[in-house]
Amino acid sequence: MLANFSNNKPKFIPKHDIDVFNLEEKYFSMKKENEKFFFPWALENTEPYSKSTLEEIKKLEMEEEDLSRKIELVRKKINALRSTVNDYQ
């Protein structure tokens, strides 16, 4: 059967009108337009963060860590109070 298949090879090679490079260019231009649409800030400010912005980010990250610790402490206190209440019931 394989020999029969190899004897019946097509005698033509289909030619495509697709320009691969043109498609690639269209793809990247569409991708860039989508980034502009979804993330306009990504293309507007391509320079690295300024020192003040980095300081503000660091400050906010520290605040976030502090608040996370406080939330965890409050959760532990709530659980302790619940267990105390359950012990007395």
Tally of CA atoms within 13 A in the half-sphere of 72 that contains its CB: 6
Nearest 10 degrees: Cα torsion 46, 47, 52, 57: 40
Q: How many domains does the chain have?
A: 2
Convert the pLDDT of each residue in 12-70 to its tens digit.
555 555 555 566 676 667 666 665 555 555 555 555 667 788 888 889 999 999 999 99
| Residue 77 pLDDT class (50, 70, 90 cuts) | very high
Contact between 34 and 27 under an 8 Å Cβ cutoff? The reply is: no
| E strand spans, the chain | none
Within this chain, do residues 66 and 77 fall inside the same structural domain, yes or no?
A: yes
pLDDT of residue 86: 81
Q: Is residue 71 part of a domain?
A: yes
Mark whether 41 and 31 lie in a shared domain.
yes
